[in-house]
Amino acid sequence: MSKEHIAEEIYKGLTPLSKDSFPKKCCNCGKTFKSFYEFIIQTRAIRNSSGLRESIDDDGNPIVQLLRNCTCESTLLENFRERRDRSKEGETRRDRIAQEIKKGKDAQTARNELLNIMYDHES
């Protein structure tokens, strides 16, 4: 699976909080990322993670923050609208992941296995 395809799957559904988020410029080296897609492809994950984390904006609303490393090693941050599926189906998926974690799997493995089942890929 290509880096581009993996990025599309992991970051699918992210919508920047601001229409002015891109182009994004690294304050350390000056490199400019014209689009979200370019930002993902031309930066690196932090500590082998997706870089995604839940947060709360100034008004108390849930948001998603994305941290990535520029090629100069500077950490870049962008804020996105929450994309969590708050439906009953979304809650069921999160419950299934929690059950797998209780069985001893790490969270990312449990999530990946559920995604594989959802998209008819081999688990």
C-alpha gyration radius of the chain: 16
Q: Provide the pLDDT confidence category of residue 29 given band limits of 50, 70 and 90.
A: very high
Contact 22, 67 (CB under 8 A): no
Query: Looking at the whole model, is its pTM more than 0.75?
Result: no
Residues 91-107, mean pLDDT to the nearest whole number: 81
List the one residue out of 38, 9, 10 whose CA is nearest residue 26: 38
pLDDT for res 35: 93
